[in-house]
Amino acid sequence: MVGGATTKELMVDGKRLDGRALDELRPVKITASVLNNADGSAYIEWGKNKVIAGVFGPRPCHPKRMMDPYRAIIKSRYRLAPFSTSDHGRAGPNRRSIELSKVIREAFESRVLLEQFPQTMIELTVEVLEADGGTRCASLVAASVALADAGIPMKDLVSAVAVGKINDQIALDLTGVEDNYGDSDIPFALAGRNKELMLFQMDGVLTKEQINQALDMGTKACEKVHQLQVEALKRVYESKKQEVEAKED
Amino acid sequence: MAVLDVLDQIKRGYIRDMVKQNKRIDNRAFDEYRKVEVEQGMITSAEGSARARIGKSEVLVGVKIGVGSPFPDRPSEGILMTNAEFLPLASSTFESGPPREDSIELARVVDRGIRSANAVDIASLSLGEDEEGRPKVWITFLDIYVIDHDGNLQDAAGLAAMSAILNTQLPKYEDGQIVREEKTGPLPSKATALSCTFGKIADKIILDPCYAEEVSLDSKLTIATVKDHICACQKSGGGGLSRAELDYCMDLALKKGEELRGKLKA
């Protein structure tokens, strides 16, 4: 979160500590339909980040007082596993996870066709099993695939990436160390079709021009991530098709 | 609940129609704040305090100073803790009980701006080591009390918080004890961070949404600035935001931030 006071060299010979270029994404691997009981699910490995997302619903709304007579509500839960960080984290929600659960939920509220399912709820859970910077973005990307995997109608997929500033330079997809010792972090999410910002947060001190430069860099990466999301979903249908064909033979 | 929902729906429709016709419910321009007032030092038991009013919204911030152990990974840095209470008397929609996500988000966004800009300079709040050689630091408790709610609590909270920080005097620290009666000087602050909050309704951007507008918003964007720089952002609400809209908001936040800073006594 905070830069400035404690410093660490984050660039060596023009490369980042993990050898990446400034505009290089970590390896991202997405698998859809990984859980039995959930209506939709996805697992993502994004660098060292490991996140599993599950979706239940639409189903009757509990508690009843949260029910919206006009549309479905989304309940979301983002949690870091106690073993996911270098220091042991307390189990249960904390202020950070409550805020992130909220912004993740809001990133989907205008993408999912909630009006089709009045009085119901869609439960979205993301569990971060290992964290190394950019977990909210990895969570959003996995959640988006899990929602689609659950067959919930959506206007488009949501893709996300974090951009930031390290050693006075704009950089893509910060690791945990880079986020900790860097100067700024901008996690953001784009809707696949109209490219509107569905999530946008920023800390650190930047000029308007630097923010725009960072978002331009991130937009390209988001398009790459979007492609990986689509491919992950396609693979599920291809394997289902093969299953059906095998039965027919 | 159902009755309220219907009323909200009607209100929402009314506000949206007005905005589409380039009008606001209180006749303001789209880029205009309500009346902004700030005063300092009303709570004498606190080391610093301030109250901000934006229209009918009212937020009080008290700063208390304590001494404690630093976070292990940052042994020479002071600690800043920001919390927000949405008092039940401020709105019929506020209930007592554990903090809701709205109040947590508000406090975290105020904290983000202040922390990023070093508006509380935590790097200079070390007290060295105690007799047993353990590091000690100043802890700054920033408590945001929402007294009355008519929308845009975020900016009112940010303004009151910043003003309270500038009002804060550090007490004396002697032989491992705080001597609250004696002050040693102002709480170190490197910049004045203030936020501007925008609402998007029917593809139009309005500054400083009042409560009726706030319940009608598609999405909301808070941008905190220091002079010529942006130091925190938070988009909330379900709707999206285009890059052009973001660009417009950043420009206006930088400009309006300067105006708001003029309201603060440094």
Closest CA–CA distance from residue B174 to any residue of chain A (Å): 26
Rounded mean pLDDT of A181-192?
A: 95
B196-226 per-position pLDDT tens digit: 999 999 999 999 999 999 999 999 999 999 9
Q: Which residues of B touch A2 (CB under 8 A)?
A: 115-116
How many structural domains comprise chain B? 1
User: Exposed, middle or buried by CB within 10 Å (0-12, 13-18, 19+), for B98?
Assistant: exposed
Is B15 part of a structural domain of the chain? no
Which residue among A70, A194, A203 sits closest to B240, beta carbon to beta carbon? A194
Q: What is the mean pLDDT of chain B?
A: 93
* A contact residues 92-111, partner B, Cβ 8 Å cutoff: 95-96, 98-99, 101-103, 106, 108-110
Closest CA–CA distance from residue A86 to any residue of chain B (Å): 11
Q: Which domain holds residue B179?
A: 30-261
pTM value is 0.90
Q: Give the DSSP H or E segment for B128.
A: strand B126-129
Q: What is the pLDDT of residue B5?
A: 59
A15-26 per-position pLDDT tens digit: 899 999 999 999
Instruction: Give the mutation candidate from A205, A207, A217 for the B interface (greatest B CB count, under 10 A).
Output: A205
Between residues B51 and B264, which one has the greater pLDDT? Answer: B51
Compute how many other C-beta atoms are within 10 angstroms of the C-beta atom of residue B31. Answer: 15
Q: Using the beta-carbon criterion (under 8 Å), do A103 and B232 form an inter-chain contact?
A: no
Closest CA–CA distance from residue B10 to any residue of chain A (Å): 13
Instruction: Give the mutation candidate from B198, B230, B241, B252 for the A interface (greatest A CB count, under 10 A).
Output: B230
Q: What is the pLDDT of residue B2?
A: 42
- The counts of H helices and E strands in chain A are 4, 11
Is B226 part of a structural domain of the chain? yes
Is B9 part of a structural domain of the chain? no
Kindly report the CATH number assigned to the domain that includes residue B86.
3.30.230.70
Which residue among A5, A99, A200 sits closest to B235, beta carbon to beta carbon? A200
Closest CA–CA distance from residue A145 to any residue of chain B (Å): 18
What CATH superfamily classification does A25-248 receive? GHMP Kinase, N-terminal domain (3.30.230.70)
Using the predicted structure, report yes or no on whether residue A2 has a pLDDT greater than 70. no
Compare all CA atoms of chain A with the CA of B254 and give the residue at the minimum distance. Answer: A208
Reported as a pLDDT band with limits 50, 70 and 90, residue A1 is very low
Whether B5 has its CB under 8 Å from any CB of chain A: the answer is yes
Quote ipTM for the complex. Answer: 0.85
Q: Which residues of B touch A184 (CB under 8 A)?
A: 116
CA distance A112 to A227: 19
Using the predicted structure, report yes or no on whether residue A32 has a pLDDT greater than 90. yes
B71-115 per-position pLDDT tens digit: 988 999 999 999 999 998 998 888 787 778 999 999 999 999 999
CA B85 to chain centre: 12
* A contact residues 124-183, partner B, Cβ 8 Å cutoff: none
- How does B186-217 read in b/e, with b if 16+ C-beta sit within 10 Å? ebbbebbbbbbbbbbbeeebbbbbbbbbbbbb
Which residue among A109, A196, A201 sits closest to B234, beta carbon to beta carbon? A201
Whether B39 has its CB under 8 Å from any CB of chain A: the answer is no
Which residue among B76, B226, B240 sits closest to A191, beta carbon to beta carbon? B240
Q: Using the beta-carbon criterion (under 8 Å), do B242 and A195 form an inter-chain contact?
A: yes
Which residue among B74, B116, B241 sits closest to A197, beta carbon to beta carbon? B241
